[in-house]
Every structure is written in structure tokens, then in C-alpha cells.
A and B are shown apart, each in its own frame.
Chain A
Amino acid sequence: MDKGSGLETGATLPRSPTGKRTPMRDVRTEYAAETKNLTMLFGKFKALDKLSLRIQKGIIYGLLGPNGAGKTTAVKILCGLLTPTDGQAYVLGTKVPNRNILPQIGYMPQETALYVELSVHQNMELFGELYGMTSKKITEKEDELLRFVALEKWKHSPVANLSGGMRHRTSLACSMIHEPRLLLLDEPTVGVDPELRSAFWQYFNALRQAGVTIIITTHYMDEAQHCDKIGLVRQGRLIADGTPRQIMKETKTTNLEDAFLALSRGQETS
């Protein structure tokens, strides 16, 4: 339907928010993530039904759909947390699940998934150490990320004392501490106020400019405007794939919510 805005190997890389250039080593595939006929059954419930996606490197890809559409299941398969019932999934050219690609992935789950008894700093330090980062590097990256998520003042507060939104921001910072090449963010903007949400998108854009691929799931249709490409998912099936503009054009609608409703009706009648 369209092409992504991925950077090609050898292109001049913009600086990442850390001020460092992000190297691009993998030339085996142009796709950061790819799924082929991905099917996932939970008992009799079909969470994914032959889902096929191709997500180019260096873009922000939004996986959109209502609750229960199968977005989180797809992300968990890409992370290696779930093994599909049928079909294949590839991340950075490697069939998943595969431990070797884990250092290149950053994952932010839908739930907070932090050690609430530990402070923000201690959580970030833990994740940094798990990725084999040096103390100096962790400190540098932590300071930068805490500035970004506006949590510098709360660095030494136990996560248990933070609000829901603050916990979400801490979780996002933890998923980015090791400068991954692919970020899988499951509903990252839930519980985040509009001002900070806007800042999040600016940062995601900066990461994208640095060559990081970002896959975001959301059920907020308005957020999809920020994505280079989106995939609309309903009942485990991909019902549309392309740029937001293309999808609206094809469905003759003016916003993605209406586009989704039009596509859903089309799916029901077919």
C-alpha cells in the first residue's frame, strides 16, 4: 500500500536523543518485523487469525484496534513471550522466539511491570545491568531519559509512591535504557496527560530519525496520525495497512475512527 520512511544502510544518521549516532548493522532484511499468517489460539478463542505484517525499519508503526483485537498478542509474539499456534514471526531478520535478538529489543508491556518496592533509579539500574551496561553508561542514559519523561525529581522515590501516569513513564524509560534498535510499546500513552503525550511523540519521532523502529499499539485512533504507517486490527485480522492518509482516502473518511468503522462494516458483510 505504501512505503515506510526507513533509513537505508550507509545513510547519514541523525543524532539520537543521547547525542550518539545509532549504528545500523543488520542489512539482511529491510523489515524490522514481519509476520506470516500468524495465528494464536487461547483454548477455543482465536486471538490472531492469519495476521501478516511487514514493518519496515526506521518507521513508527501503529497497531490499532479495539480492546481484544489481538494487538498485545502480536507484540508478545514479536518479543518471544508467546509462541504462535501457527505461522511465523521475524524480528530484525531473525525468526522468533530467539534469545539472540533480545538485546536489540526494548519492550514496554501494557501493565506497569516494575518492581514497585524499588525506586525509579533502582528499576532503571536493574534493566541497565541486565543489558550489560556499565554504571557510567547507565547514569548517563538514566539522566537523559528521566529528563524526557519528566521524572528527575522522583528519581529516588519508590515506584509504589508514584501515580499511575508516573509509573507508566518510568516503565517507558526502562524499556529504552539500552538504546534498542526496535521498540515495542504496548499502549505507552495510557494514563499520560495530553501535554506529556505530545512530548512522548516528539521523542518517538527523534528516535525514529536516529534509525530506531517503533511499534506502538493503541486503541486511541487520534494517536495514529503520528505514525508513519498503521495496521488496523479487528478480531485478530488485519483489515487495513498503510499510511493514515491512504487508509482515510480509501475508505472515503476524514478520520481514522470513521475509517475503522467503515472497514469493520465491510469485514462483516464480506
Chain B
Amino acid sequence: MNIKRTLAITKKTFRGIWSDKAALMLLLVTPALSIVVFAFGFGGDVSHVRVAVVNQDQGYQIPPSRVRVSISGAILANLDSKVVEVDEVATEAEGVKLVKSADAYGVIVFPKDFTRNVYEKSLDPSLSLDTTIRVKLDKTNVNVAGVIREAIGDALVGASASMGVEGTATLDTSDAIYGEDATMRDFFLPAIATYILYIETFLMVVQAFVGQRISGSLARLQVTPLRPSEFVVGNAIAYSVLGLMQAAIMLTFSVYVFGIACEGSMLLAFLVIGVLAVMSLSLGMVLSSLARRSEQALASLSIVALPSFLLCGMFWPVEAIPTWLRPLSYVVPNTYAINAARDVMLQGWGIGQIWLELVVLAAFTVFFLALSTVSLGRVKG
């Protein structure tokens, strides 16, 4: 190996990078930005998870004292408020409804006379009294379900110890509102499939657009009667067909080859992922029409890919992201696609429950297509 020739290549590469300040900025800013988003967005723990509580326990006045105590109240007070946010409801049906509308991840039910039963059973363990706290969970989100179980378990142990009734009350988490047999793989697949398609479609479009600009064919088309809107929609149709084919292959392999759960309609799951693919290609068109060189277009990938990777709810729920950072999650289109894909595949939801996510994705698509039309109209030569 000739060191001079080798270093000549190194120098040439550095000069190329240095000449494109915009791409260089993106390359240098992105790692810092990603770490900031990761550190604030993740923080290691799931937090601020909403849980419905049905408390039928009226407390108990332990004789001969006149003081009324409530073990259920003590357990709730012991719950780590950073992890679990309690939403008190009157009936179990109401709590389940909250879970089904995605407003809570589980329902905690304290039976009637819970405090009295626990107290009396602590004196006489042979008594057949209901001292079980039933926790019905949405188990499709394996991470969140585990965190709720742990938080209630810790609160129960703490409250029982402070009231001298250790080991009497029990926790039953066997009931599931969704995801009876959900595994980690089932939980992550809809999100991963959605994300992979998002990136692949984006890259496919960026590569094609930048290629046309570099070859000069894009400028040449601008000297024909072709309108920017016709160029954008024409491309969108072609790449949508490719994106939808990729979505179909991905879904078919997941469900029929690897046995990933799909509780809802396969067609609806396909529609969700397909709409995301179309959205992603329209985003790709916007960024490629803005980029002057391939390096800039590819550097924009890191801006598109990393924040959405960390903020879209793939690994931890959006509710667990700090409030100040959460608005960013809602401007990441992937958040809606992953939500909808999980709702259909894991919870078996229908179009009536996920239409809003589809509308948001469609709105993003229209917005990006319009933006790329305007942007291409301005870009000359």
C-alpha cells in the first residue's frame, strides 16, 4: 500500500466534505441532537403511565380505635406518582372503557371491604375473605404492563408493612384486556415493520430524485410543459405502488411465516403501513427537492430517522416522554402509524377506532406533496 496515494484519497474526501457546509453541519449536529433527544426522551424508565382505579373499599374502623383506616388508600398513596398516574373511576366497566379508548393502560380494582378483609385475615389467615387486588392490563405493551405490575407490587408491600398486615393482600394480574399471550416480538414487530418501511421508502425516493438532479434530467424536464405538480404526483403514484408492495411483503412474512399476532384485519394493517409509505415518499420528495447535492439529501436522513426513532413511541409510550419534549412526538408522522399498526395488530381495532391516525397521516402526505410541488417549482437549473 502506497501511503501517499492513500492519503491523497483521504485528503480528497475531506475536501469534498468541507466544501459542502450544509451537509457537514447536519453530520456534526445530528449525533449531538440524537443524544439529547435520547437522554431526555428515554431517561431509562417508563413514566407517567395512566391507570384507572376502581376503589370499592370504604376503609375500616379498627376496634377499639375510632380511627378509620384504608389500606387501599395507603397503597394508592404509596404508588410512585412519577411512574403511574391514577384516574379514579366508579366501575370496572368504566375503567375497561378507558383502556379500550387508549386513555389508560390498565384497571386496578380494590374489592368491597378490602381493608376490613385484609385486617381480619391478618388476624386469622384461615378466613375465606376477598383480599385480592385485581389488575387488568393492556398487555400488548409488554414494557408498560411490567412497569405497572412492579409499581403496584411495590406500593402494596410498602403499605402492608406500614400497617402491619404483611402478606395478607394479594395481587392478581392474570386478566388481560388486550394481548393475553403477547410477546416482546408481537409488541415490537408492528413498530419495527412500520419504521423500516418509512426509512426504505424515504431512501428510495431521495436516491432517485438526487440522481435526476445530478444528471440534469430534472432541469431538462422543467423546460417541457410538465408542471411541478404533475411531476410530484406522477412520481408519488409510482413509488406508492412500490411502497405498498413492500408493505404487503413485510406484513405477509411477519404474520404467515413468523406467526406474529394480527388480531385485527390484515387489510387494515396493510392500509396503515401503506399510507405511511406514501407519506414517507412525499417527505423524501420534499427533502430531495431542497437538497442541492446527494450528501445533503442523505444527511437529511439522519434528521428524519433519528428523532422519529426515539420519539415515535416504538420503545416506550409517548406519555413517558417529558411533557416539554412530547409535542415533538406529535409532529413525527411515525407516531401515528405505529400507534395505528399496534392498535390493529395487537388490539384488533377497526377503522372506527383508528381513522383519526389515518387522517393525520393522509394530511401529512398532502402537506408534503404540496410542499414538494412548491419547492420543485422554485428550484431551477
A185 to B219, CA, bound (A): 14
A66 to B220, CA, bound (A): 24
Closest chain A CB from B234 CB (angstroms): 10
Q: Report the nearest B residue to A79, measured CB to CB.
A: B223
Question: How many chain A residues touch B (Cβ–Cβ < 8 Å)?
Answer: 23
Q: By the criterion CB–CB under 8 Å, are A76 and B225 in contact?
A: no
- Residue in B219, B220, B226 whose Cβ sees the most chain A Cβ within 10 Å: B220
Given A105-B223, A131-B224, A115:B217 Cβ within 8 A:
yes
Q: By the criterion CB–CB under 8 Å, are A112 and B225 in contact?
A: no
Q: By the criterion CB–CB under 8 Å, are B217 and A103 in contact?
A: no
Q: By the criterion CB–CB under 8 Å, are A112 and B215 in contact?
A: yes
A99 to B220, CA, bound (A): 14
- The residue that A102 contacts in the complex, of B212, B215, B223, B381, with Cβ under 8 A, is B223
Q: By the criterion CB–CB under 8 Å, are A132 and B380 in contact?
A: no
Interface positions, chain B 8-58, Cβ under 8 Å from A, are: none
Q: By the criterion CB–CB under 8 Å, are A109 and B224 in contact?
A: no
Between A and B, 12 residue pairs with Cβ closer than 8 Å are: A79-B223, A99-B225, A102-B224, A107-B223, A110-B216, A111-B215, A112-B215, A113-B217, A114-B217, A127-B224, A130-B224, A131-B224
Interface: A81 (CB within 8 A): yes
Q: By the criterion CB–CB under 8 Å, are B380 and A81 in contact?
A: yes
Interface: A14 (CB within 8 A): no
Q: By the criterion CB–CB under 8 Å, are B215 and A116 in contact?
A: yes
**Which chain B residues lie closer than 8 Å to A116 at the CB level?**
215
Q: Report the nearest B residue to A130, measured CB to CB.
A: B224
A113-B216, A115-B212 known, 7 other contacts, Cβ within 8 Å: A81-B219, A102-B223, A102-B224, A102-B225, A112-B215, A113-B215, A132-B225
**Which chain B residues lie closer than 8 Å to A109 at the CB level?**
216, 219-220
- CB-based A-B contact count at 8 angstroms: 50
A112 to B220, CA, bound (A): 10
Residue interface mask A42-80, B partner, CB < 8 A = 1: 000000000000000000000000000000000010011
Given A81-B380, A82-B380, A82-B381, A112:B216 Cβ within 8 A:
yes
**Which chain B residues lie closer than 8 Å to A139 at the CB level?**
none
Interface: B77 (CB within 8 A): no
Given A102-B225, A130-B226, A83:B216 Cβ within 8 A:
no
**Which chain B residues lie closer than 8 Å to A105 at the CB level?**
223
Interface: B222 (CB within 8 A): yes
**Which chain A residues lie closer than 8 Å to B227 at the CB level?**
99
Interface positions, chain A 96-124, Cβ under 8 Å from B, are: 99, 102-103, 105, 107, 109-116
Closest chain A CB from B233 CB (angstroms): 14
Q: By the criterion CB–CB under 8 Å, are A113 and B219 in contact?
A: yes
Closest chain A CB from B70 CB (angstroms): 74
Interface: B359 (CB within 8 A): no
- The residue that A83 contacts in the complex, of B212, B217, B226, B380, with Cβ under 8 A, is B380
A99 to B230, CA, bound (A): 14
